[in-house]
Amino acid sequence: GAVVSQHPSWVICKSGTSVKIECRSLDFQATTMFWYRQFPKQSLMLMATSNEGSKATYEQGVEKDKFLINHASLTLSTLTVTSAHPEDSSFYICSAPPTDTQYFGPGTRLTVL
Amino acid sequence: DAKTTQPTSMDCAEGRAANLPCNHSTISGNEYVYWYRQIHSQGPQYIIHGLKNNETNEMASLIITEDRKSSTLILPHATLRDTAVYYCIVYSGGGADGLTFGKGTHLIIQP
């Protein structure tokens, strides 16, 4: 299957700081990537769709000014959590579809102190 | 809301076949049935998908009923490493939309 990577795999930051998470498609190009969030003991929830060369689209209830998405190339999308607070602590996962099937990254564990 | 219904949890003995059911009675004609699994603290792993025919790959088999309202994922010889949450998702494909995850089935393989 296709390979999607994320960096970092985990990050701890202080409240009020910003954190950037990278999602890369390693062996294919992706004009579209997706960002999900997963709280403990819950399922994945789609946050936003990242589109190469254009603005991201956000799901209802997701603050676009807080979760900045940049899809600057066909292999890289970044999610920046701005002014992070403890309630933003979560598992963030990206996915990309080389064909009709989506492949997921390993996830990034964000802990905000 | 997710368009699939799965049992919350299941147990299976190591070495036996694990059969995971999924109901998707409102599936549309152009929607595929996808299965993913998520091992604790990892990203979801693609397993298999199908439209109406049964499918088999190196990981599993997918049996879809003729009316397409339900399906069963079969892991033929379960191992302890198959312990995970298994998600059944209906999706029209094309890569343009994100996936809607339900609660999935927590499959526990017992030694």
- pLDDT 10s digit of each residue in chain B, 111 long? 558 999 999 999 999 999 999 999 999 989 999 999 999 989 999 999 999 999 999 999 999 999 999 999 999 999 999 999 999 999 987 778 899 999 999 999 999
From edge to edge, which strands make up the β-sheet containing B32-38?
Answer: B9-13, B105-110, B84-91, B32-38, B45-50
Contact A107, A91 (CB under 8 A): yes
Using a CB-CB cut-off of 8 Å, the residues of chain A touching B95 are 32, 97, 99-100, 102
Average pLDDT, chain B: 94
Residues of A with Cβ-Cβ distance to B49 under 8 angstroms: 101
Chain B contact for A45 (CB, 8 A cutoff): yes
Query: How high is the pLDDT of residue B95?
Result: 76
Residues of A in contact with B32 (CB under 8 A): 100
